[in-house]
Amino acid sequence: MSAAPGVAQAPVAGAASRRGAAAWITLGAPLAAVTLALGVGAVFILAIGEHPLEIYALMLRESLGTGYGIGQTLFKATPLMFTGLAVALGFRAGLFNIGVEGQLYLGGFAAALAGIAMSGAPAFLLLPAALAAAALAGGVWGAIPGVLKARFGAHEVINTIMLNFIAVAMVSYAGHSLFEHATVRTAEIAPAAALPRLDILWPALRGSPANFSLLVAGILAVAVGVLLFRTRLGYELRAVGLNAPAAEYGGVSIGRTQVVAMTLSGAVAGLGGVNFVLGYKHWFELGFSGGSGYLGIAVALLGRNHPVGVLIAALFFGALSYGGLVINQRVPRELVEVLQALVILLTIGAQQVFERIARKHG
């Protein structure tokens, strides 16, 4: 009988002020986290004898002050948009998809295979086929833990982590016969499968690897937003995530919804692989994902699982990532990783603090 104290008797604030408070938490917590993280980062920079404001100004100028810098930031942000959206989609259904790293990796690999194997096909077929291959590979890799969860109750966190290892090992094994001699990469994809650089739309970005994957990410963000907030499926997905017993009561199959959510999440993550493979190098290379999947978890958290928030958070982490390369001369690269970690920790912390303040003071 040691249940939590009831809410039935708890005094309830007016709806308007509740929504005000909710908006305050939504915007305030991430901003506070970022500000605090930069503040703590400043202490580290001081500790190695550099001037924090100078370093931050340099990062800002280089990552957002020039066309090339913006292009680099966009390029770094693009895979994070995919992985952030993928993680957010899972979170909305109450699932923690840590497998985006593996799903992204396989998506990239599948896109490359399609781009190489169908090299004779015309562009209007080849490009969609390569994109579809990426989505399919990621989707299947997401569906597996989804099915395991729905049928056997196996926890998706464990299974998605395990599947990340399996994905990497599978690709490495396949690489023995597929990769170019004495390299860790595949042959180049057919030119028709390549996604064009963004500088054909926006010449200022010239020289940067930013490419049309960014537009794909933007379209996906809109699609995820519509799915979540304007479709029956999205309604079911959110209901399962927010209160599964009530969703079940409403005639929603929890298991089916979990499988669908994981499959879609995996497909979005898989599509993220095209940024590097179809948009940048035009081949698959071992280890290309470089942790974008895991960083996607931070992006989703900072973006509060909302597509718009995810896009903004991805841009922030993209700028941080490229800015980190630029300041490499003066501060160690690890510092940027410390900054990223701080943002993640503080985002979680700030959310708790803000919610507690909101509860206490309305």
Nearer to another protein, 200 or 219 (CB): 219
Query: Is residue 352 involved in binding another protein (CB under 8 A)?
Result: no
Q: Are 105 and 273 in contact (CB under 8 A)?
A: yes
Q: Report the nearest approach of another protein to the CB of residue 236 (Å).
A: 7
Of 47, 153, 177, 361, the residue at the interface with another protein (CB under 8 A) is 361
Query: Is residue 337 involved in binding another protein (CB under 8 A)?
Result: no
Nearer to another protein, 6 or 203 (CB): 6
Query: Is residue 18 involved in binding another protein (CB under 8 A)?
Result: yes
Q: Report the nearest approach of another protein to the CB of residue 231 (Å).
A: 5
Query: Is residue 182 involved in binding another protein (CB under 8 A)?
Result: no
Q: Report the nearest approach of another protein to the CB of residue 22 (Å).
A: 8
Residue type, position 20, single letter? G
Query: Is residue 12 involved in binding another protein (CB under 8 A)?
Result: yes
CA angle 36, 42, 43 (to 5 degrees): 100
- Rounded CA-CA distance 297/153 in Å is 22
Of 3, 43, 47, 182, the residue at the interface with another protein (CB under 8 A) is 3
| CA R_g for the chain | 22
- Rounded CA-CA distance 3/6 in Å is 8
Q: Report the nearest approach of another protein to the CB of residue 361 (Å).
A: 7
Of 15, 43, 47, 182, the residue at the interface with another protein (CB under 8 A) is 15
- Burial class from Cβ neighbours inside 10 Å (0-12, 13-18, 19+) for residue 40 reads middle
Nearer to another protein, 19 or 333 (CB): 19
Query: Is residue 231 involved in binding another protein (CB under 8 A)?
Result: yes
> Binding string, 103-142, against another protein, x = CB under 8 A?
----------------------------------------
> Binding string, 233-272, against another protein, x = CB under 8 A?
xxxx-xx--xx-xxxxxxxxx-------------------
**Judged by CB under 8 A, which stretch of 72-80, 225-233, 283-291, 329-337 contacts another protein?**
225-233
Question: Cα–chain-centroid distance for residue 62?
Answer: 23
Q: Report the nearest approach of another protein to the CB of residue 252 (Å).
A: 8
**Judged by CB under 8 A, which stretch of 4-12, 58-66, 108-116, 346-354 contacts another protein?**
4-12
- Burial class from Cβ neighbours inside 10 Å (0-12, 13-18, 19+) for residue 277 reads buried
Q: State the sign of the Cα–Cα–Cα–Cα dihedral 282, 285, 291, 297.
A: positive
- Rounded CA-CA distance 293/297 in Å is 7
Query: Is residue 308 involved in binding another protein (CB under 8 A)?
Result: no
**Judged by CB under 8 A, which stretch of 2-10, 72-80, 122-130, 178-186 contacts another protein?**
2-10
Of 49, 176, 230, 329, the residue at the interface with another protein (CB under 8 A) is 230
User: Residue 218's closest CA among 147, 148, 275, 277?
Assistant: 275
- Rounded CA-CA distance 49/59 in Å is 17
Residues 6+ apart with CB under 8 A from 232: none
- Rounded CA-CA distance 84/137 in Å is 18
Q: Are 187 and 283 in contact (CB under 8 A)?
A: yes
Q: Report the nearest approach of another protein to the CB of residue 28 (Å).
A: 15
Q: Are 91 and 296 in contact (CB under 8 A)?
A: no
User: Residue 102's closest CA among 46, 150, 171, 38?
Assistant: 171
Binding residues (CB under 8 A) for another protein: these are 1-22, 229-236, 238-239, 242-243, 245-253, 361-362
